[in-house]
Structure 1
Amino acid sequence: MKDNDITVLSTVSPFGPVEGNMPYAGIATFAGYPLWSSEQKADAVVLGVPYDEGTTYRPGTRFGPRAVRNASMFYTYEGQDDRFYDADRDRWILRGKTIADAGDVAIEPLNLEKNQAATTRAVATILQSGAVPAIIGGDHSITHPVVRAFKQKPFHYVHFDTHADCDRIFGSGDTHGSPVARIMEEGLAQSITILGVRGLTNSGHDLAWAREQGVRIITARELRERRVAADPDLFSDIFPKGNYYLSLDIDFFDPSAAPGTGTPEPGGLFFPEFSDVVQAVTKKGTIIGFDVVEVSPLVDDRSQITAHLAARCLLEMMSGALDQAGTAPPAC
């Protein structure tokens, strides 16, 4: 990685630390975690990719990393050694884990190849340090250069999205509607599973082509029906053993939960369904990287509910990556 691939700002105030860990004070890193340099050891490192030139409808996801970081400061009431308690599962998560924020990839407008190369190098640097990359987009086109950094690691790719993203829009293969096709064409993943497909904006030809290539597609309706069945192993047949990269397009969720995205589609899922799938993955494999993309604060509601949901989803996937299933410290 080159020194100018990532833009980092100091979070240290010349006036000293703010007592009480109030979420509205200080400079926002992800969940208030310290800044990272490549010489430091960490279990997970957050990296922003503020790029949205692959957008084909409403722009604004270049502001996603900043919005998600701001929202994540909500989780800083408690000190870093006394969070996070998962009330749903009666356990602590991410205890004893070292988490840091690497800032953002330095994006140069209208320079696609340079931006993609910088993104791949930045993620590769995190991997070389031994940390799990936690990526904040940006539009979904960033996932392709991110995943390129994993090419030496065999992995299964899981794509949470209302769209299959197997399209060439106006002949371009580098839009937010194309990452699955690019990953497939370059043979980067052992398998590809798309979860949450729905609505009227998918191409029937693209879906048929993806299935012909061996991509497993689980629609939003099927995910919902599986969860209603209340089977503790309801997703166990989807995931083989191995390493996993998870990519979450925030439009996987229903617009009532995630209005702040460029291409919303009615009939989406909610956080419990997403969490169930992440937990199912951890029972079968190891999460080695993940991203949240397509958060556009320009079209979010006044409470920034979409950014808050994205921050929570990052923590869910981070716990899935770092807290081995069933072994996280119990509540005390």
Structure 2
Amino acid sequence: MAERVPGHSHHHGNVLRRLIDEGFPPAIHHFGLRETGGWDTAEAGTTVRSVGDLALPGWSDEIRDKRVFVSLDVDVLDPAILPGTGTPVVGGLSLQRLCQLLAEIAAKTVPVGIDVVELCPMRDTTGASEHVVIEALLCFLAVYFRTHGTPIAPVGKKLI
């Protein structure tokens, strides 16, 4: 969410900031942040919830029944579980907890898509990181299909 990453106005650390500057999307909710590096996430009009906030009942109420695009930044996981990330930060979620959170999002919202960012397989020679990401995506998709019963992107249907 940084306005600028030193020396760069377009960088992987400020994609959401550029979207806000252009007027999309109407709302951004960050869940699971452990550090923002002093970035102006809240000042940009976004909702920010820390990893600790996700333990509180009702954390997902603000997105209930809303159309959401889920961007899974895998460094939310502890690097002991997923070492293959570009920006590892100790104290992250377990895979079990991430699956619970993704399941809640899949069940309580109207997902229009999902992506994965910050996976860096070259930092994990065991290949475990890729398997962890696949498991997390399967958790999300299993609940999505059980709850909604339709593909995420129905052919010919406008999503946004």
Aligned residue number for residue 98 of structure 2: 274
Distance 1:319 1:184, change over 3 A: farther
Aligned residue number for residue 210 of structure 1: 41
Aligned residue number for residue 115 of structure 2: 291
2:13 paired with 1:177:
yes
RMSD: 2.3
**CA distance in structure 2 between the aligned counterparts of 1:173 and 1:274, rounded to whole angstroms:** 31
- Quote the sequence identity (%): 28
**CA distance in structure 1 between the aligned counterparts of 2:142 and 2:26, rounded to whole angstroms:** 23
Number of paired residues? 150
Matches within 5 A, 1:46-61: none
Q: CA deviation at 1:242?
A: 2.1
Q: Can you list the C-alpha shifts for 1:110-162, whole angstroms capped at 9, x where unaligned?
A: xxxxxxxxxxxxxxxxxxxxxxxxxxxxxxxxxxxxxxxxxxxxxxxxxxxxx
Aligned residue number for residue 304 of structure 1: 127
Residue type at the aligned position of 2:141: M
Q: CA deviation at 1:167?
A: 4.4
Q: CA deviation at 1:323?
A: 3.0
**CA distance in structure 2 between the aligned counterparts of 1:197 and 1:312, rounded to whole angstroms:** 21
Distance 1:260 1:281, change over 3 A: same
**CA distance in structure 1 between the aligned counterparts of 2:10 and 2:98, rounded to whole angstroms:** 27
**CA distance in structure 1 between the aligned counterparts of 2:128 and 2:143, rounded to whole angstroms:** 23
Residue type at the aligned position of 1:186: E
Aligned residue for 2:61, secondary structure, equals coil
**Native 8 Å contact 1:290 1:317 kept in 2:** no
Higher relative contact order (CA 8 A, sep 6+): 1
Aligned residue for 1:324, secondary structure, equals helix
Residue type at the aligned position of 2:145: L
Matches within 5 A, 1:310-325: 310-324=133-147
Q: CA deviation at 1:320?
A: 4.1
Aligned residue for 1:189, secondary structure, equals coil
Aligned residue for 2:48, secondary structure, equals strand
Residue type at the aligned position of 1:169: V
2:61 paired with 1:237:
yes
Aligned residue number for residue 188 of structure 1: 24
Aligned residue for 2:107, secondary structure, equals helix
**Native 8 Å contact 2:107 2:144 kept in 1:** no
Distance 1:235 1:276, change over 3 A: farther
**CA distance in structure 1 between the aligned counterparts of 2:51 and 2:123, rounded to whole angstroms:** 23
**Native 8 Å contact 2:99 2:139 kept in 1:** yes
Aligned residue number for residue 154 of structure 2: none
Unaligned runs of 5+ in 2: 150-160
Aligned residue number for residue 77 of structure 1: none
**CA distance in structure 2 between the aligned counterparts of 1:187 and 1:320, rounded to whole angstroms:** 31
Aligned residue for 1:168, secondary structure, equals coil
Distance 1:235 1:221, change over 3 A: closer
Aligned residue for 1:238, secondary structure, equals helix
Q: CA deviation at 1:237?
A: 2.1
Matches within 5 A, 1:1-332: 165-199=1-35, 202-204=36-38, 206=39, 209-223=40-54, 225-226=55-56, 234-300=58-124, 302-324=125-147
Point out 4+ residue stretches in structure 1 off by more than 4 angstroms: none
**Native 8 Å contact 2:107 2:143 kept in 1:** no
Give the TM-score normalised by the residue count of structure 2. 0.80
